[in-house]
Structure 1
Amino acid sequence: MAHVITRPCCNDGSCVSVCPVNCIHPTPDEPEFLTAEQLYIDPETCIDCGACIDECPVEAIFPDDQLDEKDEPYLQINADYYKDHDVDGGLVPPKKAPPMPADKELHVAIVGAGPAALYAADTLVKKAQVTVDVFDRLPTPHGLVRFGVAPDHAPTKLVERGYLSTANKKNFNYFLNCEVGKDITHDELMERYHAVVYAVGAATDRRLDIPGEELPGSISATEFVAWYNGHPDFVDLDVDLSSERAVVVGNGNVALDVARILVTDPDVLAKTDISEHALAKLRESNINEVVILGRRGIAQGAYTNSEFLALGDVEGVDVIIEPDELTLDPESEAAGDDIDSTIGTKIRLAQEFADRPTTDGNKRIVFRFLSSPLELEGDGKVTSMTVSRNEFADGGSVTRTGETYDIETGLVLRSIGYKGHAEAVPDLPFDDARGVVPNDDGRVLHGDDPMTGVYVTGWIKRGATGGIGRNRLCGEETAEAVIADFIDEKLAEPTASRDEVEKLVVDRGVNLIDLEGWKRIDAAEKAAGRESGRPRVKFTDLAALEAAAESAE
């Protein structure tokens, strides 16, 4: 019997270190780990020990004889990876942590409370001499796990259990509802901590830069996701669901998420932690078709195969791919049977969708490849989109054919990527072109020189690439840089005490929320959820969140 990794895989690599026969790949030491859609178990090497099952934070691993029918394709997906990847078995050597000076303390402030921040914190708090204070402007932690993961992907959110384990350490503290740059400055943190780590993400969406983009009815997928996930900043977002068709521009996982949410039965969503205001609006929605536009071909789809496969499991929804949409780029065409296994699986799944019969009365998700938006039109709101047909040129580049077509739509969601912005880190150097803070393994660079005691992790460090697993590796790398610099005595001693921080911000009117306050919010949301058969009902009003944090109930 072999074990199989399925869709919820978070790529954090925790299963790799416990596997005694090195049958899970790519490992964090392999280059493909940084870009892999998921991790894969070699069915020929797996010895059925079950260690990976116990370690998996999102419960994505199962024995091959215990798979649900919808997960059975992962047998082939796991096996396919090893058709073109030669790996060596054997024990995985454990990482040896560098020794810390026993007579010195290290105080670290982390700005941001998302996955990259908490993975960095997890590495740091394993050292008894280290104290970590995590700051976030919102009353709740966990960043994109809370506000980015789709509500119908509950298993992915199980990583929060690991974050709670980190937060429960005695040398960890939350300073939530406290905005760095407003309630406390960068310089004030530098005076009180040996190191300050920025993990503020990349929250700005990329623009289409086409005429009509500013019309009502044209919004970013970033905003839409935050709206249905209950982010307090987006409760009042104007989402017009009155038309029968929506168009999503882009073909990454977020594009698939928003398309799926738009056509999923609201009664199904009512069993998730989707925000109450979004659920109410979706119940009144007229949308019965979502068109997903991809500038390039099927082989270049940026979504993972697991998310693509999962679309076929949405009840009452047909996935429509016309056979003539499956044009391959010259390189993929020439590769034939030797094509990369991940791309080959993507093509195979698309062909299977193309061959499926449709059902009268079903809603539809329609894929159109080699298509780019040219203009949005409408009188006071979006009513249609003009689209260019593209083609592959020599070398695999994409050019316009000159052929266009129109799509009637009242809702356009752009989902073409995220980008960091300088306003999130006003006291740090910033590379506008890449949307990141210049750094070397997390050490912030001013020119060619590292800034003493200032670090970054997550998307603001490397750009908006990779998910939860990549953030774990990224956070660990930055934390290890902080520890190494501390051991090498490269960090300046604080000139003021970190013990002053709480009084400093409270005296400025901050309604500070600590770990216990967050636990009370968490308990109150889950209690509200139990009353309606849901995992939680998110509080979206800041006053309600603050009240829940202070409640004794």
Structure 2
Amino acid sequence: MGPGGTCWRGAGVTGGVRRWLSSAAPLPRLCVVGSGPAGFYTAQHILKHHGGAHVDIYEKLPVPFGLVRFGVAPDHPEVKSYGAEDNRVLGIPGENLSGVYSARAFVGWYNGLPENRDLKPDLSCETALILGHGNVALDIARILLSPLHLLRQTDITEGSLAALACSKVKRVWLVGRRGPLQVAFTIKELREMINLPGTRPVLNPADFTGLENAVKDAPRPRKRLTELMIKTALEKREEKAVEVQAGAPREWGLKFQRSPQAVLPAADGRRARGVRLALTRLEGSGDSAKAVPTGDVEELECGLVLSSIGYRSLPLDPTVPFDTQRGVIPNSSGRVEGVPGLYCSGWVKRGPTGVIITTMNDSFDTAQSVLEDLQAGVLDVATSREGFGAVESILHSRGVRPVSFSDWEKIDAAEVARGKAAGKPREKIVDPQEMLRLIGH
């Protein structure tokens, strides 16, 4: 699985620590595949509640922590928690034009994910359009518009910082199919975007007409979020004329009830020059409201298009069941359907939703299933189950030398030292081969 989804095979675990320590039963060994938040939280819960369990965590990269390391925003290290190995495609003409990128690839680029290190996004245009109204979309907008002196204090990669220093982008539109009451970002991220130095929000008061009454009985987070958008739209309208005259350097705005129909090519037929959007009306209300095209369209000029409409997990192996429609492994409280002893957690378990606290609780839920199954005696914990000993033999026979945690500590120390020299928390190494050379592989 990717960093956002974890699969593991267990000789499970139990909450009854004394029972295990006082009996002659073999001690269970578990294998966790994926060292992101889902994997670590699951391992943590198991080790906390079972004194004899042995957990081995496997990761495909030479560095651990998945999207805690490669998370959405380098200036938000406390909330990094987005994973899944693929992104949803738009399914519209022109999405393969130069200048069109998935949010996942763009985020991976500025966070030093090795597979995205050569993305080289074209930032030579003035206007960028982000499709999506979630926290990932706001994070990308903030990175595109943040003053460089703020970004220099983060662990954003050196190459990304250099590219952003030359960026011509000064206007970012965030476009969503539905309305203000359906946005998926949270108030903290919105407030930070509103207060971003040297940048002004552009919200149209007409988009919020009558919404004060509509949210009176809404849950408090939705009510406060909507009220902040309304307040910003009304306040900033008064300031707009003054700011335009003063030449405010950068701006961003929210556009509602617009669905992408096509990315429009420039004269050369290779680059994006804009997006054609279908105007929509809402059927239903609240989170279940659906966007239906009205038949009207509009074009929005932009040279950079970022698709932030969601992530999806990929199938792990033909022997592991997978629901391609939902992008999840069919499971019951983390127990993989039809495969006893196999469990899943994270986005591959429930789909690409939620933040770090969601992943934590979800992982604890799966870990509890493992604990219960072991206590019930339904898992094979025979001593013949060697765990990493058997895996190590297979790797050795294939000439593969795994990276150990002490190896990672050498990489970590090198990154921190490089970062210190540049006045940053760390300077990530983005080339896996360089990581391996560093540890003598």
TM-score of the two chains, using structure 1 as the length reference: 0.70
1:43-97 C-alpha deviation (Å, 9 max, x unpaired): xxxxxxxxxxxxxxxxxxxxxxxxxxxxxxxxxxxxxxxxxxxxxxxxxxxxx94
**d(CA) in 2 for partners of 1:529, 1:394:** 51
Cα distance in 2, alignment partners of residues 346 and 303 from structure 1: 9
1:154 corresponds to 2:33: no
Per the alignment, residue 10 of structure 2 pairs with none
Give the structure 2 partner of residue 479 of structure 1: 367
What SS does structure 1 have at the residue aligned with 2:97?
coil
Cα distance, 1:400 vs structure 2: 2.0
Per the alignment, residue 322 of structure 1 pairs with 204
Q: Which amino acid aligns with 1:420?
A: S
Residue 440 (structure 1) aligns with: 332
Post-superposition shift, 1:434? 1.0
8 Å contact 1:264–1:315 — kept in the other structure?
Answer: yes
Q: Given the alignment of the two structures, is residue 114 of structure 1 paired with residue 36 of structure 2, yes or no?
A: yes
Q: Which amino acid aligns with 1:119?
A: Y
1:522 aligns with 2:424: no
Is 1:492 matched up with 2:384?
no
SS of aligned partner of 2:216: helix
Deviations along 1:24-58, one digit per CA (max 9) or x if unpaired, are xxxxxxxxxxxxxxxxxxxxxxxxxxxxxxxxxxx
Deviations 1:369-392 (A, max 9, x none): 111111111111111111122222
Q: CA offset at residue 497 of structure 1?
A: 2.1
Aligned to 1:123: 45
Q: Does 1:133 align with 2:56?
A: yes
Alignment partner of 1:233 is 2:90 = no
Residue number in structure 2 paired with 1:101: 20
d(CA) in 1 for partners of 2:284, 2:363: 40
Q: From the superposition, tell whether residues 426 and 136 of structure 1 become closer, same or farther in structure 2 (CA, over 3 Å).
A: farther
TM-superposed CA distance for 1:530, in Å, is 0.6
Of the three residues 184, 192, 196, the one matched with 1:310 is 192
Structure 2 residue matching 1:338: 3-state secondary structure: coil
The structure-2 alpha-carbon separation of the partners of 1:202 and 1:487, relative to structure 1 and needing over 3 Å to count, comes to same
- The alignment of Structure 1 onto Structure 2 pairs a total of residues equal to 407
Structure 2, unaligned runs of 5 or more: 1-13
| Cα pair 1:298 1:327 within 8 Å, conserved | no
Residue 500 of structure 1 deviates from its aligned partner by: 3.1
1:150 counterpart SS class: coil
C-alpha change, 1:482 and 1:323, in structure 2 (3 Å) is same
Is the partner of 1:306 in helix, strand or coil?
helix
Matching residue of 1:165: none
Q: Which amino acid is the alignment partner of residue 194 of structure 2? A: G
Aligned counterparts, 1:90-489, within 5 A: 97-99=15-17, 100-102=19-21, 103=24, 104-126=26-48, 127-156=50-79, 202-326=84-208, 335=214, 337-354=216-233, 355-356=235-236, 357-358=239-240, 359=243, 360-378=247-265, 379-393=269-283, 396-422=289-315, 424-446=316-338, 451-489=339-377
For 1:437, the aligned partner's letter is: I
Between 515-524 and 356-365, the greater mean CA deviation after superposition:
356-365
CA distance in 1, matches of 2:225, 2:296: 27
Deviation at 1:228, TM superposition (A): 0.5
Deviation at 1:333, TM superposition (A): 6.8
Percent identity of paired positions between Structure 1 and Structure 2: 36
Give the structure, 1 or 2, with the largest relative contact order (CA under 8 Å, sep 6 or more): 2
Which residue in the other structure is 2:6 paired with?
none
User: 1:104-154 CA distances to partner (integer Å, 9 max, x unpaired)?
Assistant: 300000000000100001012222210000001001111111112301113
Separation in 2, partners of 1:415, 1:548: 35
- What's the CA shift for 1:501? 2.4
- In structure 1, the residue corresponding to 2:377 is in which secondary structure? coil
Contact 1:452 1:492 in 2 (8 A): no
| Contact in 2 for aligned 1:297/1:327 (Cα 8 Å) | no
| CA contact 1:326–1:369 (8 Å) conserved in 2 | no
Q: How far apart are residue 313 of structure 1 and its match?
A: 2.4
1:509-531, Cα deviation, whole Å (9 max, x unpaired): 32311211112211111111111
- Alpha-carbon distance in 1 for matches of 2:70, 2:319: 26
CA deviations over 1:260-300 (Å, ceiling 9, x no partner): 11111223211110011111111111110011001111111
TM norm structure 2: 0.87
Unaligned stretches of 5+ in structure 1? 1-95, 160-199
CA contact (8 A) 2:29 2:381 kept: no
Query: Do the aligned residues in 2 keep the contact of 1:212 with 1:376 (CA within 8 Å)?
Result: yes
Q: What is the aligned partner in structure 2 of residue 534 from structure 1?
A: 424
Amino acid paired to 2:250: K
Query: Residues 20-99 of structure 1 correspond to what in structure 2 (within 5 A)?
Result: 97-99=15-17
User: What is the alpha-carbon distance in structure 2 between the residues aligned to residue 311 and residue 209 of structure 1?
Assistant: 29
Give the residue type in structure 2 aligned to 1:440.
S
Q: 2 CA distance for matches of 1:506 and 1:311?
A: 50
Deviation of the 1:351 alpha carbon:
1.6
Q: Are the equivalent residues in 2 in contact too, given 1:250–1:414 (CA < 8 A)? A: yes
